[in-house]
Amino acid sequence: MNKKNGWMVSGLWGFMIILIFLGSIVLHMHAKQNSDDHESRSKDSSLYNLDKMQTAAQKRAASSTSGEQAQSSASLNGEGVTMIGDSVTVGIEPYLKEQLPKMTVDGKVGRQMSQAVKVINELAAQGKLGDQVIIELGTNGPFSKNQLHDVLQSLSGAKQVILVTTRVPKGWQNTVNDTIAQVADEFSNVNVVDWYSASVGKDEYFYKDGVHLKPDGSRYYTSLLVAALQKS
């Protein structure tokens, strides 16, 4: 091989090396661009997913808060609730306080409806008369329409008054319940919990006297009152 041909071969090899070098640079740049594009898409995707996750979390939190508020508004702890009654009220007081720990319960053995206005005035003077009042009286004897009217008139400013019918194996039972039914309709803030009807066929809830309640009966009685209060 002569000197001229040698230079040509060397030049050719040099040219090829330069092409290979340039090609490797181009490939490297292309690969880097693809990598950057992929990373950018990944970041965008991550941000998008994060936004979705945050949005979902916010919705769950809002839903949870809404649920807590609904639960709070639907709940009842007895604050602002007063019950006035006789020995039946005395017997169920522990069960009432389990459900409505902040309520005021004023029960007295032998109490009559004729004494109710005095009790109402005393509780009001003590700041213990709530805006939801339950009256459970009639176990110990009948009362007139006028007597009941006076009681309800004294509670005309209450948000809700609940009258509870009686179940007592005495001759005045029906008289008491009829009087409650007739007078209650005269007052817009008065509702009736018909304990007499609700307790039909539930002899197992009562002690032998047919009036006072065993634990299961007390819980059932309490559940009726709580349900009535929640309807206000």
Q: 140-188: per-residue pLDDT in tens?
A: 999 999 999 999 999 999 999 999 999 999 999 999 999 999 999 999 9
**pTM to 2 decimal places:** 0.69
Catalytic residues, which ones?
Answer: 87, 209, 212
pLDDT tens digits for range 121-152: 999 999 999 999 999 999 999 999 999 999 99
Looking at residues 35-50, what average pLDDT do you find?
40
Predicted pLDDT of residue 137:
98
Predicted pLDDT of residue 231:
87
For residues 72 and 83, which has the higher predicted lDDT (pLDDT)?
Answer: 83
Q: Which residues of 178-199 are buried (b: 16+ CB within 10 A; e: fewer)?
A: ebbeebbeebebbebbbbbebb
Say whether pLDDT at 64 is over 80: no
